[in-house]
Amino acid sequence: MIKLDKILYPTDFGESAEDALRYAVMLGEEFGSEVLMMHVLSLYQEGGVSPDEQFGKMEDYAQKYEDELQRKAHEHIDRLIANHADRNLKIRKVVTRGFSPYQEIIRVAEEEKADLIVMGTYGRTGVTHFLFGSTTEQVVRLADCPVLSVRHHAPHTRELSQIKNILLPTDFSEYSKKALPYAVSLAEKYHARLHVLHVFEQRIHPAFYLVDKETPFDLDKGLRDRALDALDEFVYNDLRGQIDFTCDVASGKPFVEIINYAKSHEIDLILIATHGLTGLEYMIIGSTTERVVRKAPCPVLSVKDPEHEFVRP
């Protein structure tokens, strides 16, 4: 059962946040949720400014601009609320001050016991992303509740009633099992087809290329069938007879294959688990989930175990 009592919608008033607002509003109306429209007056802005410049800006904010910034933030959110006054929607305004936006977003989500965070992302890449990350990706990694991320100018976004294809990537871990009830509930709710995908990470020795062995399926002819059987068993008790679903396997880099599958099958929503890696472990291993968030052609709902859940028995 889907029970969304409270949705947190952080906004920086940019175009990416506008894309996410539509989903926050749709979900709020659909499930009778209270929507918390949140803005963080941040004393630190990501993007490559030196520490000395940052502290200089902090001093300026404290002495000259903080009150004005706060006034404008309230005005912006009041305008957003007024724009949705004719909708059947409960909206509350939250304006906070903090050193870093993602920390404030996570703090407010925990204090308010938010069931879901809905936020936009620009899908940044390259050196800037490597050094400073993304507020959305940090929230995805660290928040205790699920996060729905909507990439700016994603080519495939729909009204909720038009969601027809949902993708659930799985590596058969306990983490990915955590995402399964969400996939089932949302597929039932919107009468959507669920695509369950497993990706074999391709690690073929170059010597095999000389004998036309380029994928794990070339090396082991029965691997695809065994993997499909395992997928069917993975979802059998939860899905059989309840919803329309299909299972598929691929080989390659998981995040690349997930994105390619989403594009080729016109996926409307990707539902994926995240391990919540941090620190050196994250820098070495990275996160398939966060790479999918960055590049997906449609919204991505990420869930983490343990977490504050909005799908309950």
- 53 contacts: CB under 8 Å, gap ≥ 6: none
pLDDT band for 127, please (50, 70, 90 cuts): very low
Q: Tell me which residue of 146, 149, 162, 142 sits closest to 100, measured CA to CA.
A: 142
Listing DSSP states for 231-289 in one string gives HHHHHHHHHTTTS-EEEEEEEE-HHHHHHHHHHHTT-SEEEEEE----HHHHHHH--HH
Q: What's the rounded Cα separation, in Å, for the pair 28 and 32?
A: 5
Mean per-residue pLDDT, 175-189: 86
Whether the per-residue pLDDT at 279 is higher than 60: the answer is no
Percent of the chain with pLDDT strictly greater than 90: 31
pLDDT band for 48, please (50, 70, 90 cuts): very low
Higher pLDDT residue, 204 or 294?
Answer: 294
Whether the per-residue pLDDT at 207 is higher than 50: the answer is no
Mean per-residue pLDDT, 169-185: 84
Higher pLDDT residue, 76 or 129?
Answer: 76
Whether the per-residue pLDDT at 307 is higher than 80: the answer is no
Supply the pTM of this predicted model: 0.82
